Structure 1
Amino acid sequence: MTTTATRRQTSDEKTPSTGAFTVAHSDLVDALKTLALPATGRKQLPVFSRALATVRPGQVELTTFDFDVAATVTLPATGTTTGRMLLDHPSLTKVLSAAVKGTTKAIADRLDVTVTTPDHTPVVHIGGYSLPLDDTIAVDTFPHLPLTTAPTYVAAREIFSTLVERVTPAADRGITLPILTGINTVLDKGSMTLTATDRYRLASGTIPVNGTTTEKVLIPASVLAKLLPRLTSAQVRLGVDVIAGTTWFTLADDTTTVQIRTLDGEYPTVSSILEQTPTRTVTVPRSQLLQAATRAASLTAAVTTSKNSPVTLTVTSDALTLAPATHGDPTKVTAPALQATVTGETDVWTTGANPAFLLAAIATLTADEVTLHLTDPSRPMVLTDAGDIDYRHVLMPVRLAS
């Protein structure tokens, strides 16, 4: 959805902190954890370390924003006096922790925290202590949030979180190709597909959602992976807005709203890899495959200088073997064979795989059995839960030494 950005007018006079509220200690501590990513990330401007508290009757809305990510948490509050104040996020976090030192969690959870603004200075009151926070930054210096619309897609939070956890390991962590640090997200009227790749592996999965339009965005993987677990409602709402040429992704539940600046760029086309027709499939118990991959990786690290030297996968008509790498003669290396159900071609098939990537791929699968979908040894291999291709993890082959 494309919207037009408008900015609230500000006067030349600096706005001081005003208002007051009381909230549960445990609620405020939890909210500050959610707000921590924008507040402790970029350090170019001091205001990035501040949380804007907007006090309304019966509630307080806490927000952090660093121009890339905005996080807002709404808490029930008592003793409210309407106003807006800037709270030093790191200092407030430390005060709340220090004030309950030596007490049990049960006692700490029963404490209330009151914040007032005498002389326009935020003061924290907890457990008989009163401590002022820094007040050198005026309220109106806090950046304006993007004026996104209400999210229109709805997804089950646990299902969405699980898929994000599964695809995130395949996202790039470098800075050479920024678009590969994102999760390519395609929202449709009835489904959402997430895809991540670092060029050496690829993960993609689809889950059901309720929506009304089709959108495609590239969400920073590290940001989504850190913030999504902070949401707790059974369902989450998702939205996409284009504001002044910038695309924002909104993620919200009953108490928390996160707005994420998406990445620019054209994501690589991966459909030909995901949709390749296998010439054979190999199905093995997941626990046995994980054990074999773990031992092959450990033995490789023990006998080579690089723990990522490729392990050798060999498929016969009824078995799969994972052999460790070696600096010596590879023909002298043997490994136990795993009994497997093999369909399609039955001639001997051999390729190499990065052991760390193979272990990470197996870790994202959840069924009792895993199926490897294979074509040519020089082509990518696809791993799925047996009988389920809604989630696919792809590994690029690694050339084996002659």
Structure 2
Amino acid sequence: MDQFARISGLHINAFKSSIFASGQTVTPMLNEAERLGIKAGKLPVRYLGMPLTTKALSKQEYEPLTDQVRGRMLAWRNKCLSYAGRLQLIKSTHKAKVAWEDLCCPLEEGGLGIRKLHYSSKVFALSLIWRIISKKSSMWGGCKKFLDLEKAVKASVASISSGRLIDITGAVGTCYLGIARDARVCEAVTQAQWSVRRHRIRHFHELHARIQREPVPDDQQGQDVILWNHSDDNFKPWFCSARTWDQIRQKKATVLWNKSVWFTQGVPRFSFIVWLAVRNRLSTGDRMRAWGIHQGCLLCGERDETRDHVFFVCPYSFTVWDKLANRLSGNRTDPDWTTSLQFLSANNLQIMDKILLKMVFQTTIYHLWQERNRRRHQTGHRTVDQTVRVIDKAMRNRISSLRYRADHKFTGLMQRWFEV
């Protein structure tokens, strides 16, 4: 105890402490504790709500803890969560609807914009390297233990107009050109000339000629300028985490529907349901069959419930969609899901009509899926006209909440919605 106090500066109050011991050789320990005035306790004892014993806990002893966890989970109402809270709930779900790889990419590539910790840690490490190289007067730049790292980094970024040497020649190029892997640029110069070995291979012969055409570093022309690569042939004198992350991550193809799902006037929870629908990850009947559950369409009675059927082959859903979007789309509503999504992503409508069409699309998807779940859980059902009125009210509420100024270009959204 005295040694612990000397090292940490923390002193144990013997009158407020108790010691719990078990085994056959605890008598000397208990005698010493009694001498110091520390009370000897007996096991089992409850600590932080859990019993401490010398044996493994039984299932019955874990029940109070599991009951508390179950109660917390049941009280976690989805409707009480914000959009960020719902996202956290999705990430913590044991059986994810969407693969983690698909979530961790930007919105324009079909993901949710979540950044992988693996790539984020790389960005932080590169940020540290940038500080080491660029800020000589800082603590990082003055630490001698980072000098070897700084030297290696300078060698890795050494390049000519055609690109980095290590990328052009590969690892074997350092031997062919006679340049050490950790050499700096100044070490490849002798008497104001490039000191690079010639080679008989045609590729290296041409590379040698290109290197000789590069200007030789000259101290009289000023100090070197340290730049960071922000994109292809775009170097800046500062570090950018977002640009660096975008370069090191694994990229995917851009999807055409991302602006139809994620836009300023959209409702986040509506957009998320549409995103799941676009990726075909809603729990429709065809997907539930894999779990041993047979589910037909609850809106029209069709035996095979699929995403394409619910939106909008089903007579119920298409009638709702056609009543709300027919005039807005110029009589071009279609029951086919792919056709509707393509028209939503690329059309020649006026800007207000485009926004209203995207808003009514995601609002319709959300409330149709809600109506489908109401019927599945036997909590009531609505007629087509009732569903149309609910969607219309949701549209008016959303437009009213935008609160555009009088001189804003989207001030007439509500008036346009009443017209169509």
Report the TM-score, using the length of structure 1 for normalisation: 0.25
The structure showing larger relative contact order (alpha-carbon pairs under 8 Å, at least 6 residues apart) is: 1
Structure having the larger proportion of residues in helix: 2
Report the TM-score, using the length of structure 2 for normalisation: 0.24
Structure having the larger proportion of residues in strand: 1
> Which one has a bigger Cα radius of gyration?
2
